[in-house]
Copies of this chain bind each other. A is one copy, B any other.
Amino acid sequence: MNFSEQSTCLAISGGVGGAKLALGLSRVLAPGQLTVIGNTGDDFTHLGFYISPDLDTVMYTLAGVNNKDLGWGQAGESWNFLDAVKRMGGETWFQLGDRDLGTHVVRTQMLEAGKSLSEVTSHLCRQLSIEHELVPMTDDPVATIVHTRSGENLAFQHYFVRDRCKPQVTGFTFSGLDVAKPAPAFLRALQSPSLVAIVVCPSNPFVSVDPVLKIPGVMDAIGSSEAAVIAVSPIVAGQAIKGPAAKMMAELGMPQTALAVAQHYVEQYPGKMQGFVLDEQDRPLRDEVEALGLSTIVTNTVMVTLQDRVDLARVVLNFSSEITSR
């Protein structure tokens, strides 16, 4: 790998897809070389618990305790709490496993004691023996709102979990974003002179990546950085590997293609993105993506095995070195 041991990488991640690449990156980079930024626009309070679904997915994945069958939550999970809540007439639309709940309770306690979400995340990661840095995009409250064709605006988890992504989306807003600040370690990583790669993981562009990149100050810091900004398409052969990204694109009147993802990033963040990673299945789109002004590589981006994750991480890091050394 031609990514120097003195170089650092910042990865921007939503849930499952992003966590897979983050895990790959953590296997090829030393702890001091990688900062993973987790989307917190999906965070919400439920049954009195502060829940950070994306941070938890990344955290559990990095710690190797993620539930591979479900794609969220912890391995070896039990559901007696939820069963009891149901019996007691409480809300059960959001699945909370017994082990997972330990995370939410400790996090909620620490936040109520005045710790920042960054501090709490750092503490939880330490407890799980995670050596790489996982940082929430912001310590301020930001909430993704899903606008729907019926006119109803839905809190993200109501759209995503309760309503199972059924409502047709017309757009998104991020409540609180305009006054949010990047988390201190996020800004620090962005401003580091050793930063060579900013990797936009294969996560949902609208509800996982946009909230991170639209935090005031983030684009300015990216603009001042020498690092290459590279996005990995979450759409492969017209489908989202996981989640509602493709469905959202159709409802928003966009083609369900990796090209449309690249176009979205170029339009939203003009002049800021340098590289794009297409899956082998989307090789025919390469010239069109290049025509948007993005250096483009084609590789396997469908991460089934751990080796797939590591391989993609290496390809992306090498790609960033190539771009920055031009």
Contacts and interface: CB of A to CB of B under 8 A. Distances in A.
Contact of A101 (B86, B101, B103, B112): B101
A123 interface: yes
Interface in A74-127: 74, 76-78, 80-90, 97-103, 105-106, 108-109, 112, 123-124, 127
A128 B87 CA distance: 7
Contacts of A70: none
B102 A85 contact: yes
A269 to B, nearest CB: 36
Contacts of A109: 47-48, 90
Contacts of A106: 85, 88-90
Nearest to A91: B109
B48 A89 contact: no
A83 B74 CA distance: 13
- Mostly, the A contact residues are helix
A90 B78 contact: no
A90 to B, nearest CB: 4
Given A101-B101, A109-B47, A124 B81 contact: no
Q: How many copies of this protein are present in the complex?
A: 2
A79 B89 CA distance: 22
Contacts of A123: 89
Interface string A131-166: 000000000000000000000000000000000000
A78 B102 contact: no
Contacts of A90: 102, 105-106, 109
Interface residues of A, number: 33
Interface in A21-39: none
A100 B109 CA distance: 19
Interface in A247-291: none
B105 A85 contact: yes
A80 B83 contact: no
Interface of A: 47-48, 74, 76-78, 80-90, 97-103, 105-106, 108-109, 112, 123-124, 127-128
18 contacts: A48-B105, A48-B108, A80-B97, A81-B81, A81-B102, A84-B98, A84-B99, A84-B100, A84-B103, A85-B102, A85-B105, A86-B102, A87-B127, A88-B102, A88-B106, A88-B128, A89-B123, A98-B98
Given A47-B109, A48-B109, A48-B112, 9 more contacts: A48-B108, A76-B80, A78-B98, A81-B101, A84-B100, A84-B101, A89-B127, A90-B102, A101-B101
